[in-house]
A = this chain, B = another copy of it.
Amino acid sequence: MANVTIKILAKELGLSTAAISKALHDSHEISESTKQRVLALAKELNYIPNPYASSLRHRKSNTIAVVLPDVTDSFFSEAINGIESIAIEKDFHVLLYLTHERAQREETILKEFKSGRVDGIIMSISSETTNFDCIHDTFSKNMPIVFFDRICEQIDTAKIITNDFESGYLATRHLIEQGCKKITFLSNSDSLLITKNRKEGALKACLENAIEESFLHVKLDCYANEFDSEKIEQLLTSEQKPDGIVCCIEKFTPNVYIVCRKLGLSIPKDIKVLSFSNLNTAIILNPSLTTITQPAFEMGKAAATILIKSIEKKSFILKDETITLPSTLFIRDSTTN
């Protein structure tokens, strides 16, 4: 954009660019009368400081990066709303980066941040990420990182999570209370901590009821839809056919419903279905979907609050703390006869 620059102001007033800059920053080296002249002209010409020049001076870009797997998932889009609500209040800009669940893409994105484009990062790791060297490398170079939901345990920083173990336990106990004896846990990862915790919680409920031998963990790739459907159909026509399913992410739900319909299986009569989900259509599905709903907006808000506070303090010291915001079980028709 052809903006009014310090150079133009200097030329107009017959002063050096350094003098203009000092006057604009109210330096004691510049006389009051000169300051008045500079400010008057700056106002008249509608001078706006260049943010990149300003970033160079202050080593602060007022920009944070949000790195997450998928913007079409209702949990993540709500979390973005939470992050943005704080960013706008604190006058920060939000760069959005999507990993699409690919570890390689995540690494490429992180490397970009070494150049100082952003003041900090809010991150939820991909379902593929098992090597944390690149995250560690970025963090160790004094780049503040706050994790939410899919955290990286190995990095000593702030982490915003929900009560995944307890949620997995409550979800599964609910299915058992509704008569289920063969529970399958559908996830998109073997390695994510949230998946492990939810699964451990589910297993605890199965152990308490002595049905742990029929417990199954099936991993789907949520980006290969047809393949997912096939895998679900194989499961539901096998000897291991469950009578209760816990979907670890909401993207699996349409396929589970569609395959059940195709096979003539009634939800909830033949099979009960529960999903971790923030979908606002859960209540009008056929049948309405029992969900574990995460506090997505609040988790995004908490992550942004902590990150921006650390940036504004210029200390870049993020406490190694874990903040847990609880999820809620909403019981609907997909699990109750």
Contacts and interface: CB of A to CB of B under 8 A. Distances in A.
A55 to B, nearest CB: 4
A141 to B, nearest CB: 5
Interface stretch (A18-26, A88-96, A184-192, A207-215): A88-96
A53 interface: yes
A41 interface: no
A77 to B, nearest CB: 4
Given A71-B71, A96-B84, A52 B281 contact: no
B51 A115 contact: yes
Given A77-B77, A94-B96, A142-B2, A115 B48 contact: yes
B279 A281 contact: yes
Interface string A21-59: 000000000000000000000000000111111011000
Interface in A140-174: 141-143
When all copies of this chain in the complex are counted, the total is 2
Contacts of A285: 281, 284-286
Interface stretch (A123-131, A196-204, A231-239, A251-259): A251-259
A13 to B, nearest CB: 22
13 contacts: A2-B142, A48-B115, A50-B56, A51-B117, A52-B116, A53-B56, A63-B95, A66-B96, A71-B84, A72-B78, A81-B98, A96-B96, A286-B288
Nearest to A260: B284
Nearest to A109: B88
A16 interface: no
Given A1-B114, A48-B114, A77 B81 contact: no
Contacts of A112: 93
A61 interface: yes
Which has the most chain B C-beta neighbours within 10 Å: A52, A71, A283? A52
Contact of A287 (B74, B80, B88, B286): B286
A324 interface: no
Q: Size band of the A side of the interface?
A: 35 or more
Given A48-B114, A49-B115, A52-B61, 7 more contacts: A1-B141, A3-B114, A51-B115, A77-B77, A254-B281, A258-B284, A279-B281
Given A93-B117, A95-B95, A257 B286 contact: no
A88 to B, nearest CB: 8
Interface string A266-293: 0000000000000111011111100000
Nearest to A74: B72
Contact of A1 (B78, B142, B279): B142
- What are the nearest 5 A-B pairs in CB distance? A286-B286, A52-B52, A257-B284, A52-B55, A72-B77
A90 to B, nearest CB: 14
Interface in A76-126: 77-78, 80-81, 84, 88, 93-98, 105, 112, 114-117
Contacts of A61: 52
A66 B285 CA distance: 32
